[in-house]
Amino acid sequence: MLMIMYSFRSSEAPSVWFLVGIVMRLCISLGLHRKLQPARARSVSPYVLQLRKRLFWSAYVLDRMMSLSLGRPTGISDRDIDIEMPLDIDCVNPNPVPSAVTGACTSLTSAIHLINLKRIESAIQKQAYRVDRPATDSPDDLLQRIDAWEAAIPAEASSPSSWNIPCVSRDYFLMRGLESRLFLLRPLTVEPDADRQHIKLLADSSTLQRAIRANSNTLFTYIQHFPSAQCFHECFEDLASRVLDLIAITPNDPSNGGTANPLPLPMAMQDEFPWASLLTDMPGVMSAPLSAAPAHPEQDVHR
């Protein structure tokens, strides 16, 4: 597990995909995905029982995250898992028994809430990205599950001192819920007969704003490994700023400059940002040696 965490940030480390697969297979070999029989469970301390659950569900989160991101099958089906979720108690609690659960926010609350989201995403992958036949099931049930998950975000996540628990922020949870909606709706809205309500939900301005910022953060991470891609990150930031400015204008409100039929964004921006030529150079830039990064990347972007 520690090797996986290291590989996320190191370009020289082994493939995260292969490491996650190894960890999941080890969990299966050790039977961590199965509920222990009562006789055996009585011979194991409550603390070890909780460690087993925490370890498996940590591997589950990584497996679902990598599978959905890369478009690959999961390491284990949800139908083959019957181990319970870990108790919502502080991870250092020496007596992790059900009676210790008080309902207060603990150091495991965030992790458990994110595990619940990954279980929803697992259902999304099974329904929307199946390859044996076209996806025909309505996404409404999964959208309702995401809504319910967001409604259950711990109240402590909104507190400025949430990091003391520790607990991730409400914004972080909302960003993860946004990504789940994008995963669900993207393959459904590319069809000619796509539901207009789903298209509207996908294109909602608040959703788009968060998605743009999420992509910005992702590109920033990439350039830590590939400095030669800095020009693409700056190009994206220019485009993102322009898009967010246009979103801020209500389309049908003439009082703030809106128009009934706004110009499509690519046409509106292509003269101001002649960035398209960069796309033809992308394979060469991404494969260039790290030392080949330009001393002043901003010179590669025509501002």
> Model confidence over 185-213: pLDDT tens digits?
888 877 777 777 777 777 664 556 666 77
Between 4 and 190, where is the model more confident? 4
pTM of the model: 0.68
* Listed ranges 32-36, 126-130, 174-178; the one with the highest mean pLDDT: 32-36
Residue 151 has a pLDDT of 94
Residue 199 has a pLDDT of 74
Give the pLDDT mean for 277-299. Answer: 45
d(CA 71, CA 131): 11
Residue 208 has a pLDDT of 63
The total of other beta-carbon atoms located within 10 Å of residue 278's CB is 15
Lowest mean pLDDT among 38-52, 178-192, 233-247: 233-247
Task: List C-alpha distances in Å: 185 to 13, 128, 135, 198, 249.
Answer: 33, 8, 12, 7, 25
Give the pLDDT mean for 236-256. Answer: 60
Banded pLDDT at 90 (limits 50, 70, 90)? confident
Burial class (CB in 10 A: 0-12, 13-18, 19+), 261: exposed
Between 260 and 126, where is the model more confident? 126
Between 114 and 252, where is the model more confident? 114
Residue 204 has a pLDDT of 66
Whether the pLDDT of residue 157 is over 90: the answer is: no
d(CA 23, CA 27): 6
Half-sphere exposure for 84 (CA within 13 Å, toward CB): 9
Residue 203 has a pLDDT of 67
Residue 117 has a pLDDT of 97
* Listed ranges 45-49, 192-196, 281-285, 289-293; the one with the highest mean pLDDT: 45-49
Banded pLDDT at 248 (limits 50, 70, 90)? low
d(CA 124, CA 184): 6
- Which residue is listed with tokens 């020496």? 94
Banded pLDDT at 14 (limits 50, 70, 90)? confident
Mean predicted lDDT score pLDDT of the chain: 77
* Listed ranges 115-129, 182-196, 207-221, 275-289; the one with the highest mean pLDDT: 115-129
Which 8-state DSSP code applies to residue 45?
-
Between 60 and 248, where is the model more confident? 60
Lowest mean pLDDT among 101-110, 126-135, 244-253: 244-253
d(CA 53, CA 50): 5
**Residues near 273 by beta carbon (within 8 Å), at least 6 away in sequence:** 235, 238, 239, 242, 302
